[in-house]
Structure 1
C-alpha cells in the first residue's frame, strides 16, 4: 500500500474534507446545547454518541489537513453556542435533528466516497457513511417507539402486476381531466418532502425567535413560510389521492427568545437543509410520471433555490460565509510578477 503522505490529496478530496469539517463542527456545537437540556436517558445516549463521533471526525480531518500542510478551516467553535442558554426545542426534537442529519450526512458521505481516491480519505468516508446509517436506524427506532415519528400513509398491498395502458396515465389535472392518484413511487418522494419541511418549520421557528440580526430573523421567517407552504402543497396532493398524512415534527420550538446559536451557525444549518431539500426535490421530479407533479416540484425548487441564494447573499454581507478552497489562479500569479 502507498503511504498517504507520498500521495497528495486530490482537489475533490480537499473539497469534500472541507465540506465535512464545516458540517461536523456545526453539529458538534449544536449537540452541546441539546445535551445540556436532554434528560431522557435513551435520547441522551444517542446525542452523546453523535457528539463523540463528530469530535472524532473533526480531529481526523484536522490531522489529514495538517499533515498535508493545508490550512484547517475555521468552521464553528465555542463562540457559536451560548452554554447557559435555555432550551430552544422540547420533546424529542434533538433526536429528530440527529435523524435528519443522518439522512444528509449518509448521502453526502456516499457521494464523497465516490470522489475519494487516497486510502485514508476513502476509509474516513466509509466510516462516516456507516455511522450515519447506524444513527438513522437508532434515531428512527427511538422516535417510533416514543410515538414521535409518523409513518407514511398505509395502503393495501398490490395483489397483481399491471402495465400502463395509454398516455392518460401521465396526464395531470386539467379542466376536462382528473389525474390518476399518485403512485407509490411518487408517494415515497412526496412524503420525504412533507417530513423534511415539517421538521424545517419547527427549526425555522426556533431560529427566528433567537436570531440577533434583524435581516437574519426575517430570513428565518421566510424559511418558516416556505416550509409551511410546502407542507400545505404536498398534503393537498395526498388528499386528492384520498391519503391524509400528518408527519409529526418530533418535538417543537419552545417560547424562548434568548440567544442560543450564532446567526452564522444558524444560517449555515439552514443552508445545509435547503441544499438537501433541493436534492430531494430533484429526485422526486425525476421519478414522477404524472405530468403536473414535475411542474409543481420545479416551481417549488425555484422558490427554494431563490431562498438559498438570498441566504448566501446575507451570509456574505455579514462575513459569515467561509470561502471553500480553490485551485491556483494562474492569471493572478502571472500578473503579480509582471
Structure 2
C-alpha cells in the first residue's frame, strides 16, 4: 500500500493554482480593508470583516506552501496598493454587490482548480476556499435581497407539460423577414447573469476611471465602462424582443471622489479578473444557446471583450505591473549557458 506520509512535490498545475490564488487573495484583502472602513451599516461591515479575515488566512496558507517548497513567494498586492483614508469611491452597498460578483468568480475558479489538484493539502485548501466563496455569495445575496437592493431575473409562468423540439425553425434566429422564437429559460439564465455582472462592472469602471492616475489607464477604464454599457443594452434588447423585462440593479454607484483609493496596478489586475470572467461567461452562454443568432451576437461581444483584455495586458506590461507566472525550466537556454 502506498505511503501517504511520503513527500510529494507540488505538480506544475498546483504551483500555477497557488500563484493565481495568492494574487487574487492579496488583491481581495486590500480592497476589503478599504471597503470595511467605508461600510454602510453593521451587517455589511460584519460580512466584509469576516471575508477579509478569511482572505488573510488563505494568504498565510498559500505563502506557507510556497516557503515549504522553497519557491519564490509572489509579490501580489500590499499596503502600497491601497489608501484606506481615501474618501468612499462608491455609495450605498456597492461593496456588497462587488463581493457577490467576486464570490461568483472565485466559486467557479475553485471548482476548476480542484480538478487540477492532486496533493491532499492542496485539495483541502481549495475546498476550504470554495466553501467560503459559496457562503459569501449566499450571505451577500440574502443581505441585498433583504434590503430590497437586488433584483431577481424576470418571473415567468412555470411549464405545465413537457415538450420536444419538432422543427429546425427552433434553432433559427432573427432575420430580415423572420422573427426569432422567444429565448428559452436556459438561454435567459446565462444572459441575465452576464447582464447583472456588467451592471456592477459599469459602476466599478466608473469609479476606477475617476481615480486612476495614469491618463492612458483612465482612458482604458472609460473604454471598459462603455463596453459594460453596450453589453447591458444588447442583452436587454434580446430580453425585450421576447417580451421579458429584466431590471438588474446595483446597490450603489460610483461617488464623486477623484482621490485614488487603489493603485492603478491593483485596479488593472481587478479589471483583468473581471474581463476573464466575462469571456468565460460569454463562452458558456454561447454553448448553451440553441438560437443561431445568439452565438453571433455573443461572439461579436466576445471579440470586443478579448480586445479589451489584450489592451489591458499591454498596459500592464508597459508600466511593469504584470507579474510573470511561474514557468518550467527553459532547457534550450540552460544548454546554451
Coarse TM-score class (shorter-chain normalised): over 0.9
| Equivalent-residue separation in structure 2 for 1:99 and 1:193 (angstroms) | 14
Runs of 4+ aligned residues of structure 1 deviating over 2 Å after TM superposition are: 1-4
The residue number in structure 2 matching 1:81 is 82
SS of equivalent residue, structure 1 residue 123:
helix
SS of equivalent residue, structure 1 residue 253:
coil
Deviations along 1:256-292, whole A, 9 cap, x unmatched? Answer: 0011100000000000000001100001000000000
Greater mean alpha carbon deviation, residues 15-24 or residues 171-180: 171-180
Q: Is the 8 A contact 2:23 2:77 kept in 1?
A: yes
Map 1:296-311 → 2, pairs under 5 A: 296-311=297-312
The residue number in structure 1 matching 2:242 is 241
The residue number in structure 2 matching 1:110 is 111
Offset at residue 24 of structure 1 (A): 0.2
Offset at residue 175 of structure 1 (A): 1.6
TM-score (norm 1): 0.98
The residue number in structure 1 matching 2:284 is 283
SS of equivalent residue, structure 1 residue 313:
helix
Offset at residue 74 of structure 1 (A): 0.1
SS of equivalent residue, structure 1 residue 323:
coil
Provide the aligned length of Structure 1 versus Structure 2: 335
| Equivalent-residue separation in structure 1 for 2:24 and 2:171 (angstroms) | 40
The residue number in structure 1 matching 2:38 is 37
| Equivalent-residue separation in structure 1 for 2:232 and 2:321 (angstroms) | 29
SS of equivalent residue, structure 1 residue 91:
coil
Matched, 1:213 2:209: no
Q: Is the 8 A contact 2:67 2:73 kept in 1?
A: yes
SS of equivalent residue, structure 1 residue 320:
coil
The residue number in structure 2 matching 1:125 is 126
| Equivalent-residue separation in structure 1 for 2:163 and 2:24 (angstroms) | 45
Deviations along 1:182-207, whole A, 9 cap, x unmatched? Answer: 00000000001100100100000000
The residue number in structure 2 matching 1:144 is 145
Offset at residue 3 of structure 1 (A): 3.4
The residue number in structure 2 matching 1:3 is 5
The residue number in structure 1 matching 2:53 is 52
Deviations along 1:184-237, whole A, 9 cap, x unmatched? Answer: 000000001100100100000000000000000000000000000000000000
The residue number in structure 2 matching 1:186 is 187
Offset at residue 98 of structure 1 (A): 0.9
| Equivalent-residue separation in structure 1 for 2:319 and 2:16 (angstroms) | 23
| Equivalent-residue separation in structure 2 for 1:144 and 1:39 (angstroms) | 16
The residue number in structure 2 matching 1:228 is 229
SS of equivalent residue, structure 2 residue 127:
helix
SS of equivalent residue, structure 1 residue 100:
helix
Matched, 1:195 2:167: no
TM-score (norm 2): 0.98
Offset at residue 110 of structure 1 (A): 1.1
The residue number in structure 2 matching 1:174 is 175
Deviations along 1:28-52, whole A, 9 cap, x unmatched? Answer: 0001110011131110111001000
| Equivalent-residue separation in structure 1 for 2:284 and 2:255 (angstroms) | 33
Offset at residue 90 of structure 1 (A): 1.2
| Equivalent-residue separation in structure 1 for 2:278 and 2:302 (angstroms) | 8
The residue number in structure 1 matching 2:318 is 317
Deviations along 1:62-88, whole A, 9 cap, x unmatched? Answer: 000001100000000000001210000
Gaps of at least 5 residues in structure 1 are none
Report the RMSD for the aligned CA atoms in angstroms: 0.8
Offset at residue 97 of structure 1 (A): 1.0
Gaps of at least 5 residues in structure 2 are none
